[in-house]
Amino acid sequence: MALPATGKLQGFWVHTVLGMRFVSAFCLHFYGGIIHSKIMTAEDIRCSNDLSMYQRLREHRDVKRVNELIAEAEEEGPTGIRRNLLATSVRLTERMAPSIAKMADECVDLLGVEMPVEIYVYSSPQFNAACFKPEEDRVYVMFSSALLEGFTEPELRFVMGHELGHHVYDHHGIPIGYLLKGQSRPDPALALDLFSWSRYAEISADRAGAHCAQDMGAVAKSLFKLSSGLTSKIVEFSLDDFVAQVDDMEVGDQEPGQGSSQSDWFSTHPFSPLRVKALKLFEDSEIYQKGKVSKADLELGVQSVLSLMEPSYLDANTGTGETMRRMLFAGLLAVADAHGGISEEELEIFEKFFGKYAFSDKLDVAKIKARLDDRVLEVKKKASQTQAMQVLRDICTIAKADGGVQASERKVLNHIAKLLDLPTSFVVQALDVAVELD
């Protein structure tokens, strides 16, 4: 769930708490369990793929360029995050909220946060929270009034730990919002990598929140509240029933997307059943005293689970993979040509992405556009519905990263969705989903 409108506060990108459609993740098979409180650091529990992708992305030329621009702006003085928070919300001092201050101190100790943490609350009927990039040597965490009033202390500790986890792991160091919504157009391959990394980053933040909560029953109940928007004042919470709902959504070895909302599948975040599976592996790992799964096997398992959301068809040496690539190529070409023709800048971007499938002077745009429907229908025939969704998701992601999507371009995307028997809401979700981490 993002802050009102765009998930930013007067231009400042933030990480917001778990959105409602992503939050069933940490609830199954944990009830009654408590994390064994052996000594461990935040780095001990960080998802390995989050770390490796983070390190690689930090070295990407575009990420470096944007971070340098941000650093230059910060050298001129504070950007005003704290001033805006003081003006638009209420700072919770230890005197005003001693239990929240104590909770923050406990999370700071468990996660090794080395900066003072300031807590704010703003008026909102929605369950939400956010962690801002540090400024003036402080970390800022903000809660909605509804969340503070509707959650118990153990439940709030999970949310607090999740938000501070983004800070501890320096997830702000990958300015995903600036990269994907900035004025300059990012490399399409970078856009896909950013979405992939963000899913692993959420796994790390989930682990940090659970480490702080130390109460899996409370974690499950907090996820129920975030997912439903309800509290026990209205509905009698049944953990068994909630777990049964998630079990009904389990994908097992099936094709992704079965038994769940199509629009959930290809979001910035891993959708609920995948997070459930990833965190069940985490609970069973050697990180806990009773765990039997090694850290290496844990990360391999998480990678296997989340790989269901990755565009592996780009390199697959199969007939289906080739068919999917041909649809991707034709779809991107048709979308780009839908608004003012294909510019030289767009051609350059496509060449960087497609490599040997690059454009040339002899490219017959009209002919390829005329064959778009055939290529889409061929994917519908040879690939699974989930694979078809994956290609359309990637077309949307690249089109969005290419400087925004016009109405004429949305029309092409909706046409592709119709041919694939997918709802237009899938296109809306793929184009309009917030790019910030939660």
210 & 108 share domain: yes
Cross-strand pairs, 176: none
DSSP readout, 123-175? --SS--EEEEEEETTEEEEEEEHHHHHHS-HHHHHHHHHHHHHHHHTTGGGS-
Same domain, 88 and 210: yes
Model confidence at 247: pLDDT above 60: no
Whether residue 259 lies inside any domain: the answer is no
Mean pLDDT value of segment 33-53: 78
Whether 183 and 327 share a structural domain: no
* Residue 25 maps to a domain: yes
In a domain, 132, yes or no: yes
Q: How far apart are the first and last CA of the chain?
A: 7
Taking the C-alpha atoms of residue 2 and residue 435, their distance in angstroms, rounded to an integer, is 10
Model confidence at 339, pLDDT cuts 50, 70, 90, reads confident
In a domain, 166, yes or no: yes
Which range of residues forms the domain containing residue 71?
Answer: 8-237
pLDDT value of residue 24: 32
- Dihedrals phi, psi of 141, to nearest 5 degrees: -120, 135
**Token pair for 211:** 């480490």
Give the total number of structural domains in the chain: 2
Q: Are residues 102 and 199 in the same domain?
A: yes
Q: At 414, list the tokens.
A: 């909706």
Residue that is last in its domain, among 237, 268, 301: 237
What average pLDDT score do residues 339-361 get?
65
Any domain includes 305: no
Please say whether the beta carbons of 126 and 146 come within 8 A.
Answer: yes
* Residue predicted with more confidence, 108 or 365: 108
Are the CB atoms for 49 and 303 separated by under 8 Å? yes
Q: List, in order, residues 6 or more apart from 177 with CB less than 8 Å away.
A: 7, 8, 13, 435, 436
Q: Which two tokens stand for residue 22?
A: 């992503």
| 280: in domain | no
DSSP letter (8 states) at residue 285:
B
225, 318: one domain: no
Span 185-196, average pLDDT: 79
The pLDDT, as a whole number, for residue 309 is 64
One-letter amino acid at 66 equals V
Residue 61 sits in the same domain as residue 186: yes
Give the distance, in angstroms, between the CA of residue 198 and the centroid of all CA atoms in the same chain. 5
Q: Are 1 and 17 in contact (CB under 8 A)?
A: yes
d(CA 13, CA 180): 12
Q: Which two tokens stand for residue 304?
A: 């296997």
**What per-residue string of b and e applies to 189-225 under the rule 16 or more CB within 10 Å gives b?**
bbbbbbbbbbbbbbbbbbbbbbbbbbbbbbbbbbbbb
Query: In this structure, are 29 and 154 located in the same domain?
Result: yes
Q: Where are any strands of DSSP class E within 322-412?
A: none
Final residue before a domain boundary, out of 187, 217, 237: 237
Residue type, 418: K
User: Rounded distance, CA 335 to CA 187, Å?
Assistant: 17
Which pLDDT does position 172 carry in this prediction?
94
Of the ranges 90-104, 193-207, 324-338, 377-391, the best mean pLDDT one: 90-104
DSSP β-bridge partners for residue 205: none
- pLDDT score of 178: 84
Residue with the bigger pLDDT between 394 and 59: it is 59
Helix (H) or strand (E) holding 302: helix 295-306
pLDDT grade, residue 426 (50/70/90)?
A: confident
Report residue 308's pLDDT band, with 50, 70 and 90 as the boundaries: low
In order of 9, 12, 123, 134, 209, the CA distances from 80 in angstroms are 10, 9, 20, 11, 28
The whole-angstrom separation of Cα 83 and Cα 218 is: 34
Whether the per-residue pLDDT at 99 is higher than 80: the answer is yes
- Cβ atoms of 390 and 311 within 8 Å: the answer is yes
Kindly state whether residues 222 and 362 are assigned to the same domain: no
d(CA 211, CA 261): 30
User: Does residue 354 share a domain with residue 212?
Assistant: no
Mean pLDDT of 185-211: 85
Going by pLDDT thresholds of 50, 70 and 90, the confidence category of residue 282 is confident
Strand partners for 117: 139
Question: Average pLDDT in the 329-356 region?
Answer: 74
**pLDDT over 50 (residue 328):** yes
> What is the C-alpha separation between 41 and 203, in angstroms, rounded?
16
**CA–CA separation, 335 vs 116, rounded Å?**
48
pLDDT value for 95: 95
Task: Return mean pLDDT, the chain.
Answer: 78
303 domain-assigned: no
Q: Can you tell me the distance from the alpha carbon of 426 to that of 335, in angstroms, rounded to the nearest whole number?
A: 16
pLDDT band (50, 70, 90) for residue 434: low
User: Which of 183, 214, 237 corresponds to the end of one domain?
Assistant: 237
Q: Residue 254: pLDDT above 70?
A: no
Question: Are 73 and 79 in contact, with CB atoms under 8 Å apart?
Answer: yes
State whether 324 and 197 are in the same domain. no
The gap from C-alpha 422 to its chain's centroid, in whole angstroms, comes to: 22
With beta carbons less than 8 A apart as the criterion, state whether 151 and 222 touch.
yes
Segment 199-213 shows an average pLDDT of 90
User: What percentage of the chain reaches a pLDDT higher than 70?
Assistant: 71
pLDDT score recorded for residue 389: 83
Q: How confident is the model at residue 234 (pLDDT cuts 50, 70, 90)?
A: confident
pLDDT at 325 over 60: yes
Its pTM surpasses 0.75: no
Q: How far apart are CA 336 and CA 347, in angstroms?
A: 9
Instruction: Measure the CA dihedral 389/391/394/398, to 10°.
Output: -130
CATH of the domain at 321: 1.10.3680
Q: Is residue 263 part of a domain?
A: no
Phi-psi region of 214 (alpha: psi -120 to 50; beta: other; left: phi over 0): left
Per-residue pLDDT of 395-422, as tens digits, reads 887 777 666 688 899 999 999 999 999 8
